[in-house]
A and B are shown apart, each in its own frame.
Chain A
Amino acid sequence: MDSFSLAQYELFSKEILLADTCLLRFAGRLDFVPGQFVRLSLDHLGEIAVAPCSDPHDQDFFELCIRGAGSTSNEVIKALPGDHFGIRGPYGNGWPLNSLAGEDIVLIAGGLGLVPLRPAIIQIIRNRHKYGKVTLLFGAKTSGDILFLNDLITWRKKIDVEIAAEYLCRPSDKDFCTKGRITEPLDRLEINAKKTVALICGPEIMYKFCIDSLLQKGLAEDRIYASYERRMECGIGICQHCNIGKYMVCQDGPVFAYSRIKGELQK
C-alpha cells in the first residue's frame, strides 16, 4: 500500500445546500479528528482536499461538503447516489478540543470555513457541560449563502450563534442574521481573555482582521487557532506545495496556533 492508495466509499445520499454547494454522505466509517482533511479522488481528473463535516462519532456514514470551484470539484458535485469515490486520509492535525475543557470558546467561521468547524461544534455541543461560554460567529457574503442554516438555528439552543451577512437577500432575513461583516459582531463581543480560546476558519483575508480584533481584546497569541488553506497535493509532507515557512500544512497543520505560525506567514 503506497501513500497514495485510496479506500473506496459509496455515495449514498446527496443534499444540495446552495446553488454550487453539496453535502455528500458516504457509507462507511471514517476515523477523523475535527479539523483534519481528506483527499477525495476522481481518478480521471484529480484530487481535492476536503474536510469531513459530520459527527466524528458516526459509525455508519460521514459527510463531505463540496463547493464546485475547479474542474474536479465541479465534477464531484454532479455525482449521484450509488457512485463510488476513492478517499485517502485523514491528514493533518485538527482543532485542539481535548485541551479546551473548562475554557470559553469563540468559533469564527467565514463562508465554507464552517465546514471544518462543524464536527468541532457537534462535539462541543455533545459535551456542552465541559466547556464554558461558547459563541459561534458566522459570516457569509449574502444571507442566501448561509451554509447549514438549519444546524445554526438548532445550535442556538445550546450555544450563542451570531450570523452576519454583507448583503441581505430578503428583508425577512433580518430575523436570523445581521447585515455587515463578521468583524462587527466580533468587535461587540465581550470575552474573558484569560479563559477564552478562539478557533478561526474561513478565507485568509478574514484572519488578519479577526486576529487583530481578538488581540485587541487581550487574547494571547497561543489562544488563537486558525486553519490555513494551502494547495495540498500529497498529504504526506513531501511535495512542498503547501508550506507556510518551515511548516507543511498537510502534516503540521492545517490548524495552527497563531503564536506558532505568525513568524512564518511572511516567508
Chain B
Amino acid sequence: MEYIANKFQLEQLFARIHREYRVFGPQKVGRKLLLEEIDRFSQISFPVRKTKNTFKNIFFPINLNDQNRMGKIAFWGLPLCDAYALEIFLKEFSGKELVPERRDVLIVAAQCCPDEYCACQSFSIGASQPFDLYLQKEKDSFIIFTAKEMANKLLKETEFKQVGKKYQIEPVDLGKKPLDKKELSKAVGDKVLFEEYWQRIANNCFGCSSCSAVCPLCFCFHQKCQNQPDGSAKVSLESDSCFKRSFSEIQHQFSLREKNMDRLYNWYHHKFVRHFEKNTEILCTGCGRCIEACPAHLNQLNIVSSLIKEEEKNG
C-alpha cells in the first residue's frame, strides 16, 4: 500500500518509531557519512547516500554478556541494497538469539542516490521488496510504500492518507545487465577449471581484507574472551575476515589456506556458491563498497561477470 505524507507528517512518523525502537540512520560525522544512532528527524537528509559503515558495524561485536542485545531496532533511510543485505543477514542469524529477530527490526528504506561503484541493478534486488517502509520523494511530499502488515499498522496509527495505486517504486537505472545467479554460482564454483584465472586475480590482490571489512554481508566472526577487572570474563563475537591466515588455522598454527589464492577464492565461494546452494541467495547486493575500498583497484563485479563469460566460452 502507498501513503502520502509531507515533511511534518514524516517527522511525526519518525517520532512514533523512535518511541519504540533505537533508530539508526545515515549521519554526517566530519566528512564521512556514517550509519549512527539518531534521535532527531533533522539529522536525516534526502535522498539517501550509501554510508561508509553498515549495519554489520552496529550488530558486531556481539557482546554475549549483554542482555539488551535483542532489543528492538530500526534502520531509517537505508538504500535498497543495504536493506536487502540486512534481510539476508537477519535470516542467517535468525533463531540463534545473537541479534534481534526480523520482527523486532524495522527497515525504512529510501530512494537513494547511486554513485559510480553501485551495481545493485546487476543483482536485481528491488523485486523482493526488502523493507517495511520505503520513502520516495514526490515534489514537496513523500510517498511511503509499505511491504509488511506491521508497517501498515504503524501508518494507520499515525493517521496517514492512503493514495491510489498509481505510484511505483522508481527503479535505479545504472545501465547494467542483471546477472543470472545460477550461472554466476556455477561459474564461481568451478575452481579447478579456472585455477589460472583465480591465480591471476590473486597475484594482484594484496590480501588486505578491506573488501570483507566493508562488505555488509561478510558476517564471519570469531569468539573473543577478555578478562575483566572484577575477575569475570567478557565473551564477544567479533567480525573476522577469511583473508587472514589465522582464519583457517588448526592445531600447531597449520593453516588450511596457506596461499592468498585459496583465501581469495574462499571469499567468492562463500558469497556466490556456498550460500546460494543452501539458501538460494547470493551474499552480494551490489553496494559496491568492496570496489571502492580495494587498494589494488580490483573490481569484484567485473571479476565475477567475466567469469560467466569465460564459462559460456567453455560451454
The interface size bin for chain A is 20 to 34
* Interchain CA distance A267-B232 in the complex, whole Å: 40
Q: Which of A14-22, A26-34, A100-108, A236-244 lies at the interface?
A: A236-244
A239 touches B222 (CB 8 A): yes
Task: Flag A75-92 by CB within 8 Å of B: 1 or 0 each.
Answer: 000000000000000000
Q: Which of B143-151, B246-254, B286-294 lies at the interface?
A: B246-254
Answer whether residue A45 sits at the interface, using C-beta atoms and an 8 A cutoff.
yes
Q: Which of A122-130, A141-149, A212-220, A227-235 lies at the interface?
A: A227-235
B227 touches A44 (CB 8 A): yes
Specify which chain A residues have a CB less than 8 angstroms from the CB of B251 in the assembled complex: 69-70, 229
Specify which chain B residues have a CB less than 8 angstroms from the CB of A243 in the assembled complex: 266, 270, 274
B225 touches A234 (CB 8 A): no
Residue of A nearest to B270 (CB): A240
B269 touches A238 (CB 8 A): no
Answer whether residue B265 sits at the interface, using C-beta atoms and an 8 A cutoff.
yes
B221 touches A234 (CB 8 A): yes
Residue of A nearest to B249 (CB): A231
Task: Flag B256-271 by CB within 8 Å of A: 1 or 0 each.
Answer: 1000000001100110
Q: Known contacts A3-B97, A246-B273; decide if A233 and B64 are in contact (CB<8 Å).
A: no
Specify which chain A residues have a CB less than 8 angstroms from the CB of B310 in the assembled complex: none
A238 touches B96 (CB 8 A): yes
User: Interface majority SS on B: helix, strand, loop or mixed?
Assistant: mixed
Answer whether residue B17 sits at the interface, using C-beta atoms and an 8 A cutoff.
no
Q: Known contacts A69-B252, A234-B221, A243-B270; decide if A266 and B191 are in contact (CB<8 Å).
A: yes
A231 touches B233 (CB 8 A): no
* Interchain CA distance A1-B97 in the complex, whole Å: 7
A238 touches B93 (CB 8 A): yes
Residue of A nearest to B93 (CB): A238
A236 touches B96 (CB 8 A): yes
Task: Flag B97-115 by CB within 8 Å of A: 1 or 0 each.
Answer: 1100000000000000000
* Interchain CA distance A230-B269 in the complex, whole Å: 17
Answer whether residue B242 sits at the interface, using C-beta atoms and an 8 A cutoff.
yes
Task: Flag B70-96 by CB within 8 Å of A: 1 or 0 each.
Answer: 000000000000000000000011001
B274 touches A239 (CB 8 A): no
Specify which chain B residues have a CB less than 8 angstroms from the CB of A46 in the assembled complex: 223, 225
Closest Cβ of chain A: how far from B307's Cβ, in Å?
15
Within 8 A of B (CB), among A163-212: none
The interface size bin for chain B is 35 or more
Specify which chain B residues have a CB less than 8 angstroms from the CB of A4 in the assembled complex: 64, 98, 223, 235, 237
Residue of A nearest to B228 (CB): A44
Answer whether residue B180 sits at the interface, using C-beta atoms and an 8 A cutoff.
no
Specify which chain B residues have a CB less than 8 angstroms from the CB of A42 in the assembled complex: 225
Answer whether residue B220 sits at the interface, using C-beta atoms and an 8 A cutoff.
yes
A44 touches B98 (CB 8 A): no
* Interchain CA distance A231-B205 in the complex, whole Å: 24
Answer whether residue B192 sits at the interface, using C-beta atoms and an 8 A cutoff.
yes
A267 touches B249 (CB 8 A): no
* Interchain CA distance A229-B248 in the complex, whole Å: 11
B248 touches A231 (CB 8 A): yes
Answer whether residue B219 sits at the interface, using C-beta atoms and an 8 A cutoff.
yes
Q: Known contacts A231-B247, A231-B250; decide if A43 and B96 are in contact (CB<8 Å).
A: no
* Interchain CA distance A47-B237 in the complex, whole Å: 12
Answer whether residue A151 sits at the interface, using C-beta atoms and an 8 A cutoff.
no
Task: Flag B205-244 by CB within 8 Å of A: 1 or 0 each.
Answer: 0000000000000011111010100001101010010100
Answer whether residue B277 sits at the interface, using C-beta atoms and an 8 A cutoff.
yes
Specify which chain B residues have a CB less than 8 angstroms from the CB of A43 in the assembled complex: 225, 232-233, 235
* Sample (19) of A-B pairs whose CB atoms are under 8 Å apart: A2-B97, A2-B98, A3-B97, A4-B64, A4-B223, A43-B235, A69-B251, A231-B248, A231-B249, A234-B237, A239-B237, A241-B220, A241-B247, A241-B248, A243-B270, A246-B274, A246-B278, A267-B191, A267-B266
Binding site for A on B (CB under 8 A): 64, 92-93, 96-98, 191-192, 219-223, 225, 227, 232-233, 235, 237, 240, 242, 247-252, 256, 265-266, 269-270, 273-274, 277-278
Binding site for B on A (CB under 8 A): 1-4, 42-47, 69-70, 229-231, 233-234, 236, 238-241, 243, 245-246, 266-267
